[in-house]
Structure 1
Amino acid sequence: MSPRIVSLVPSLTEAVAASAHGLLVGATDWCTHPADLDVVRVKGTKNPDLPRILALGPDLVLANEEENRPADLDELRAAGLDVLVTHIRTLPQALTELERVLVDACGLRRPPWLDEAARAWADPPALAPCRAVIPIWRRPWMVLGRETFAGDLLARLGVRNVYAEDAERYPRIALEERAAADLVVLPDEPYRFTAEDGPEAFAPLPAALVDGRSLTWYGPSLVDAPARLSAALRAAVR
């Protein structure tokens, strides 16, 4: 019998749906892929509707150490639910954890897209080495710091995060005191940076506006992410 799954992580929601659409019975409001996903919504990653999740009677709840609050996961476990928490800070961890979720936990065959993702990142189209600051929020300004999945992807594309050695994973910075960089990389999530909102704060640095899903999601988007990210980076520095 196939397991009933609730996913509290947009990346994992897409990964499960792409591999076996019928397993999901619940997902967060932020689970936007695939676009036609028709399951019960259980509010957000940081404020899940726990009674609604319990009412769905899932065999497994998928979570992530960074995206979900330990207190919520503890409450689900206390109610008798099986909760799988993923730990992803690098590309190799992402590929390993995706196999753990899909094959070990969900009982699926290893999906072809997972092998395609591994091949796509085996020799990605990298830039000449450059240094970048990668904001993820403004008001206040926050950037990628140490040990982040997105930072690892960018490093594989030739982009070194100037805050990679910071004590914080997502440090707040003052623009007038920011570290020296050759480039600013502006994703469209979690803050939606655009050509009119973000680049002006870092002028005259060239700005690469990148797809946030390609940069921060681990799932089927990993297949196209190297090409999409590389194209945006090259367009900014050429």
Structure 2
Amino acid sequence: MRVVSLVPSLTEAVAVSLPGVLAGATDWCTHPAGLDVPRLGGTKNPAVEDIVALAPDLVVANEEENRGPDLAALRAAGVDVLVTEVREVPQAFRELARVLHACGARTRPRWLDEAEEAWADVTPCEPRRSAIVPIWRRPWMVLGRETFAGDVLSRLGVDHLYAAHEDRYPRIPLDELRAAAPDLVVLPDEPYRFTPADGPEAFPGLPCALVSGRHLTWYGPSLAAAPRVLASALRATRP
């Protein structure tokens, strides 16, 4: 079985669970460390011809992270493409099991059981807090409706204020974000790399939680540690 992954989360899941199966990945696939496979462009601009030349048995993708035209081009070239949809934590577990089965796994990996157990034991922090969750600046963009990261935070006791917005990742002017007066601002280190010196200064007077983007947005082996890692970062912002 030869698999190309166009999603960093799925790359890690396949590489950890099925050593030797992964035949290619994107430039953004950083885990597991030391992964030595051909790099095939970004999630939004994969090198379709190079992927076809690898003759994979399967390409795994995601409806949000990858573009429809690229996936259509792969299918037109005769490549089998599996497209995932992940907008909440339980859905992530189902889709991961589906991907690994399609990639040839005969048994369920232990890390997936551990991840489900970790999330089953989560108790939301009380009182619940409101938040805005920027994912980009210049322009400012935040989490909107039906996002995996939003569901992750909700299960930890944090409700982001744009969860009902018509867009999944709306562009919101900074003045409006400040005026929303959330209890805290959650700043992940990806896709935009917010740091102590780049992000918190835009929200004077508001507590800011700098969190691991991998634990907030990736659905793979990192899910097992995500509740503990994120809860720790969020607790650090309490008065």
**TM-score normalised by length of structure 1:** 0.97
Task: Please provide the CA RMSD for this pair.
Answer: 0.9
Per the alignment, residue 192 of structure 2 pairs with: 191
SS at match of 1:22: coil
Say whether residues 1:14 and 2:15 are aligned partners: no
Other structure's SS at 2:29 match = coil
1:123: how far off? 2.0
Percent of aligned positions that are identical = 67
Shift of 1:81: 0.6
User: Hey, what does 1:169 align to over in structure 2?
Assistant: 168
Amino acid at match of 1:156: R
Structure 1 runs of 4+ aligned residues shifted over 6 Å read none
In structure 2, what is the Cα distance between the partners aligned to 1:21 and 1:81?
Answer: 22
Structure 2 residue runs without a partner (length 5+): none
State the secondary structure of the residue aligned to 2:237.
helix
Secondary structure of the residue aligned to 2:106 is coil
Identify the residue that residue 217 of structure 1 maps to in structure 2.
218
Q: Match of 1:156?
A: 155
Mapping of residues 70-219 of structure 1, within 5 Å: 70-128=68-126, 129-178=128-177, 179-219=180-220
How big is the shift at 1:126? 3.0
Instruction: Tell me what 1:50 maps to.
Output: 48
Letter in 1 for 2:24: G
Query: Once structures 1 and 2 are overlaid, which stretch shifts more, 12-21 or 101-110?
Result: 101-110
Query: 1:68 aligns to what?
Result: 66
Give the deviation of 1:127 after TM superposition.
Answer: 2.1
Post-superposition offset of 1:148: 0.2
Paired AA for residue 169 in structure 1: R
* Deviation (angstroms), 1:125: 4.8
How far apart, in 2, do the equivalents of 1:205 and 1:231 lie? 18
Tell me, yes or no, if the aligned pair for 2:40 and 2:47 is still in contact at 8 Å.
yes
CA drift at 1:105: 4.2
CA deviations on 1:167-199 (whole Å, 9 max, x unpaired) are: 110011112122231000000000000001101
- SS for the counterpart of 1:191 is coil
Alignment-mate amino acid for residue 198 of structure 2: D
Partner of residue 25, structure 1: 23
Cα distance change, pair 104–52 in 1 and its aligned pair in 2 (3 A): closer
Deviations 1:153-178 (A, max 9, x none): 00000000110011110011112122
8 A contact 2:86–2:92 mirrored in 1: yes
The 1-side partners of 2:33 and 2:144 are apart by 31
- CA deviations over 1:137-160 (Å, ceiling 9, x no partner): 000000000000000000000000
Give the SS at the match of 1:168. coil
1:21 is paired with a residue of what secondary structure?
A: coil
Give the Cα separation in 1 of the matches to 2:16 and 2:103.
16
Q: Distance in 2 between matches of 1:157 and 1:192?
A: 22
Q: Using the TM superposition, give the Cα deviation of residue 51 of structure 1 relative to its aligned residue in structure 2, in angstroms.
A: 1.1
The question of whether the paired residues in 1 share the 8 Å contact of 2:3 and 2:103 is answered with: no
- Matched letter for residue 150 of structure 1: A
Q: Structure 2-normalised TM-score?
A: 0.97
**Quick one: distance in 2 between partners of 1:24 and 1:233?**
35
Give 1:68's aligned amino acid.
N
CA deviation digits over 1:37-89, x for unaligned, max 9?
A: 11111011111111111111100000000011100000000010100000000
Mark the runs of 5 or more structure 1 residues left unpaired by the alignment: none
Higher mean C-alpha deviation, range 169-178 or range 104-113:
104-113
CA contact (8 A) 1:99 1:110 kept: yes
Q: How many residues align?
A: 236
Q: Distance in 2 between matches of 1:173 and 1:65?
A: 24
